[in-house]
Structure 1
Amino acid sequence: MKLTLDISESFKIAVAALQANKARGGLTALGIIIGIVAVITTMTAANGLQISFRESFASVGSDVIYVSQRPWIQTGPNFQYRNRPPLTMNEVDDLERRLLGRAVVNPSMGQNQAVKYQTRIIDNSRVIGTTDKQVIVSNMVPDRGRFLMPFDVEYKKKVAVIGSEIAEGLFGDFDPVGRDFKIGMYKFTVIGVMEEQGGSVFGGPNYDRQIFIPISTYGKVFGNSGGRSNVDIAIKAPSPDAMEDFEYEVIGEMRKIRGLKPIEKDDFSINKLDSLLDAYNSIMGVVVLVGLAITGISLFVGGVGVMNIMFVSVTERTKEIGIRKAIGARRRSILMQFLFEAAVICLFGGIVGLTIAAMLTEVLNQTLMPASLSPAIIIIALLVSVLVGVISGFVPAYRGAKLDPIEALRYE
């Protein structure tokens, strides 16, 4: 009860002291405001980029394993991957037979091509040869028309499902479905338009610039003689919870298909969304730490300013401290009074800084880059503000609490 009363009384005295010196309190909080704005903007930008990164690779699927010739994140020398034998459609068929009834297996091949409709041309569009199972292993579905069907693949139909950016760039306001256009020198008919996915982030795939055609047609028109073109194999696991065991099973089956001996290393790579997220988190962790270290200097400078002004405040109110001690105030009460004063200054700075940072975040989000202000960042910002105030004000407050009441009463 006594402690609660001391805290309440200390808080009232601290607020009254700040109200009596509004200009000085505001100028002191300025350093904290700048520091909080810098720190929050760094955190919101990093948070927004992480969200965009996840969305950019959303169609990869958290429960899908990809078998490829090379790893997505290449860490070793290039020659050890370059000399690997490419994956073939025969191996896809063999793997599908071995996993029949337990997983969905979808092969794909891709290359960049120019596409044309009348006088409109889009260069470097990503043409992907795939099957009707593409919509099962990914999160993408058509917005208009339909996706590939088994008979499109079986009969090597020259049909295509295009991304929203391709649809807008080639056909404008016209409905693309049913219209013919050229991929390279070959004529295809649009049978569907995919939902808009958004642009790429950090070099990720631009799904809106992709074109899906039957993999059999891809091999026929772009060259797959003898099954030698390199294939990527997407395998949807039976359950997200069984990913680890399923990954070992896929590795084992691929080693059997390729006839690898127990002492031989894998001559293929297993890729999944987790590997991309781990690489991203490692890079962004370093970037955020460096950014916070740099912006943290602003908070340090602000804290020094608060400490300096609190020393001035203690000195100015030395006689007041003597009077309070003479009538029975304890050291704890004096200590809490000045700690609360420093904490309130910094909390005020934190709230103002948070408001400015929220506006800057919205501007960033609308113009330069994705940014997201989460509740966790708001709470951390306010806690950091109070913590800076407590740390900065402790030494001046302790000095005031230790003053001898007689000497303090004599101070002029």
Structure 2
Amino acid sequence: MQFLRQVFESFRFAWQALRSNLLRTTLSLLGVTIGIFAIIAVFTLVDSLERNIRTSLSFIGDKVVYVQKWPWSFGGEYQWWKYFQRPVSTYNEFRFLSDRLETAQAIVAMDFKGRITVKRGNNSMASLIQGTTFDYNKISDVPIEQGRYFTQQEIDVARNVAIIGSDVSENLFLGQDPVGKTFKLNGLNFTVIGVQRKKGESIINVGGNPDIKCLIPFGAFAKMFHSVNPDIDIAIKGYDDDEGLLELESEIRGLLRTRRGLRPSQDDNFAINRPEAAAQAISGLFAVLTIAGWVIGGFSILIGGFGIANIMFVSVKERTNIIGIQKSLGAKNYFVLFQFLFEAVLLSLVGGLAGILLVYLLSFMKLGSLDLQLTANNIALGLGVSSVIGILSGIIPAFSAARMDPVIAIRAK
């Protein structure tokens, strides 16, 4: 109990010392404030970017591979011009894989057409049209807010039905319930069977922004837009127990090489792309940004730490006489040590809180489609770093104060 009371007294002395030298206190904590602001601002920006991008990537599916003509990244010594000689993926290849794949949960053929005008009466807008087969909702996220998803029959007979995005609904139907109503697409009437939940703006929209998208059966899309040999995307979802989708990728490669008549000595003339590769590349970029944040903020915090240490040495010198009186009256060494250590930590924490407050105010700024959010983890990190800097900056001045001889300290002027 006595120990706790003395600790509390040490804290009270530290607080009074900071209040009595307000200008010096403010100047001392500026370095820590700037340092914590730089670190937490970078972390907040990186976390917000990563959350935004990963949300966008969720729309192209989890445990999914895409069979396409072009790879998502070019690497190695493979000559770029050979990619042009590759055949495109076709609907017949989709049917071939669909009938034979044993390690796939779902397989989908899809294609896109951008900036196609859709109309209803006098209302119109440019929309992204996507034709797809039945299992698309197993491959990608299709959050239906109103209405329903396609039936197998609607896909098989290529019926003119559509699932529209929220922006399409707002622009064409002006707040009315669009389900069951029709709109014009490429001169044909399409009936709305569903409306997707609004996604909002995003930095990247892999596969297109669903808010401006019209999902229609692949057959209906092909009749309007496809030539004899269209280039389509084939998306295939693997099972959860297929670690790294190695079995699925191996089976796809074997079947497609057989289908295309490739000899063992020939390279693949198709690409098997994975969303995870994009996610890993993004994680690598964010790791670099995080390190940059630590370096930038670290220099500011280092300067702030030296500033606090300097102020603490000044405080010890100014209060040498008071330290001597306290020790002569029976104050223990730890009481004096805690008094100055608490002052350094409190000074650093105030600076850290000021830096976090600046980041919090920054989060209210509108940065395009990026929604900045200051998380509890980043707040805890800022306070933790501030506390460590306070301890490191104040430990040597506090020890020097605690080890003073009371007789010599009382005589000091």
Q: Give the TM-score of the pair, scaled to structure 1.
A: 0.85
C-alpha offsets along residues 311-346 of structure 1, whole Å, 9 cap, x if unaligned? 211221233344556677776665444222211111
- 8 Å contact kept, 1:60–1:273: yes
Q: Give the TM-score of the pair, scaled to structure 2.
A: 0.85
Amino acid at match of 2:278: L
Partner residue in 2 for 1:39: 39
- 8 Å contact kept, 1:131–1:148: no
Report deviation, 1:139: 2.0
- Shift of the 383–137 alpha-carbon distance from structure 1 to 2, 3 Å rule, reads same
* Aligned-partner Cα distance in 1 for 2:286–2:81: 28
* Aligned-partner Cα distance in 2 for 1:52–1:359: 20
- Shift of the 130–173 alpha-carbon distance from structure 1 to 2, 3 Å rule, reads same
1:131 paired to 2:157 = no
Partner residue in 1 for 2:287: 285
1:393 paired to 2:394 = yes
Partner residue in 1 for 2:247: 245
Structural mapping, 1:6-405, within 5 Å: 10-75=10-75, 78-99=80-101, 102-117=104-119, 118-123=121-126, 125-204=127-206, 205-225=208-228, 228-239=229-240, 242=243, 243-323=245-325, 334-361=336-363, 363-364=364-365, 369-400=370-401
* Aligned-partner Cα distance in 2 for 1:292–1:101: 44
- 8 Å contact kept, 2:333–2:403: yes
Greater alpha carbon shift after TM alignment, 141-150 vs 325-334: 325-334
- Shift of the 11–182 alpha-carbon distance from structure 1 to 2, 3 Å rule, reads same
- 8 Å contact kept, 1:110–1:126: yes
Secondary structure of the 2:365 match is: helix
Report deviation, 1:272: 2.7
- Shift of the 2–62 alpha-carbon distance from structure 1 to 2, 3 Å rule, reads farther
Greater alpha carbon shift after TM alignment, 175-184 vs 337-346: 175-184
- Shift of the 261–409 alpha-carbon distance from structure 1 to 2, 3 Å rule, reads farther
Report deviation, 1:92: 0.9
Report deviation, 1:94: 1.2
* Aligned-partner Cα distance in 1 for 2:38–2:103: 54
* Aligned-partner Cα distance in 1 for 2:73–2:366: 28
C-alpha offsets along residues 146-180 of structure 1, whole Å, 9 cap, x if unaligned? 33333333333333222111222222223333444
C-alpha offsets along residues 218-244 of structure 1, whole Å, 9 cap, x if unaligned? 22221231xx21121111223265434
Report deviation, 1:382: 0.8
Report deviation, 1:51: 1.6
C-alpha offsets along residues 92-138 of structure 1, whole Å, 9 cap, x if unaligned? 11111112585211111112132131333323x32111112111222
- 8 Å contact kept, 1:322–1:404: yes
* Aligned-partner Cα distance in 1 for 2:104–2:302: 58
Secondary structure of the 1:338 match is: helix
Amino acid at match of 2:376: P
Secondary structure of the 1:103 match is: strand
Amino acid at match of 1:281: S
- Shift of the 18–133 alpha-carbon distance from structure 1 to 2, 3 Å rule, reads same
- Shift of the 411–83 alpha-carbon distance from structure 1 to 2, 3 Å rule, reads farther
Greater alpha carbon shift after TM alignment, 201-210 vs 382-391: 201-210
Amino acid at match of 2:216: I
- Shift of the 323–141 alpha-carbon distance from structure 1 to 2, 3 Å rule, reads closer
Secondary structure of the 1:256 match is: helix
* Aligned-partner Cα distance in 1 for 2:381–2:64: 35
Report deviation, 1:401: 5.1
* Aligned-partner Cα distance in 2 for 1:245–1:55: 27
- Shift of the 252–5 alpha-carbon distance from structure 1 to 2, 3 Å rule, reads farther
- 8 Å contact kept, 2:89–2:231: yes
Secondary structure of the 1:17 match is: helix
Amino acid at match of 1:389: G
Greater alpha carbon shift after TM alignment, 6-15 vs 235-244: 6-15
- Segments of 5+ residues of structure 2 without an aligned counterpart are none
* Aligned-partner Cα distance in 2 for 1:114–1:70: 24
**What CA RMSD, in Å, does the superposition of the two structures yield over aligned residues?**
3.2
Q: How many residues align?
A: 408
Report deviation, 1:385: 0.6
- 8 Å contact kept, 2:201–2:369: no
Amino acid at match of 2:113: Q
* Aligned-partner Cα distance in 1 for 2:324–2:242: 68
- Shift of the 328–209 alpha-carbon distance from structure 1 to 2, 3 Å rule, reads same
Secondary structure of the 2:193 match is: strand
Secondary structure of the 1:372 match is: coil
Report deviation, 1:12: 4.9
